Structure 1
């Protein structure tokens, strides 16, 4: 995650030029994507390429196949960057060509992730308690 501290727009575009497999591997290396996953049924999940060539985690037991996201990893990462930079929804929609409702959903997820993180790791301001 240290790699992302000084992450600039040029860095984003450099990473977006990677092949999908390489991009996902990089996300795994910095801890933003699972290297392996286990389904709720306790079976190991595998990466599977869909009809558009996008990799998804998949449990091969038919009863445990969740609906796949229609937004690719690169687009989600780009949306996360735009959200972190506090750019408006309209700009994110334009840059990613993602529908308004999906951008709203992603921005909401990003907020929820931050809330969970800061509830688990509160920041104390000021001096110590006497």
Structure 2
């Protein structure tokens, strides 16, 4: 699967996830989006744990992913407190995290970083749009 297709599929998945939130008011949607931020690096921690167990990742990778979990956990809490712009920044920074550290990681499924980038960018854009509309 090419990178462009992965990104598009991630963007479509994000649109679907955001559509599931459409019945909630804007404030609740943004709170859910903020609380979802730590889930992003948690998935990479799980990949790294599996990688350590099957030999495709070392403890250095696991440490790197745990640092990401702490970083994005903090950003998620900040977004929960401060709102849309912080959430948009956190989701955009996670797209950069995906792009800079995970394409060549043997323990990460090859399709996942591209999907995640597409998902992250759409949610970041939605959060920024929500701020603009408020």
Q: Which has the higher strand share?
A: 1
Same fold (TM over 0.5): no
TM-score with structure 1 setting the length: 0.30
Q: Which has the larger radius of gyration?
A: 1
TM-score with structure 2 setting the length: 0.29
Q: Which has the higher helix share?
A: 2
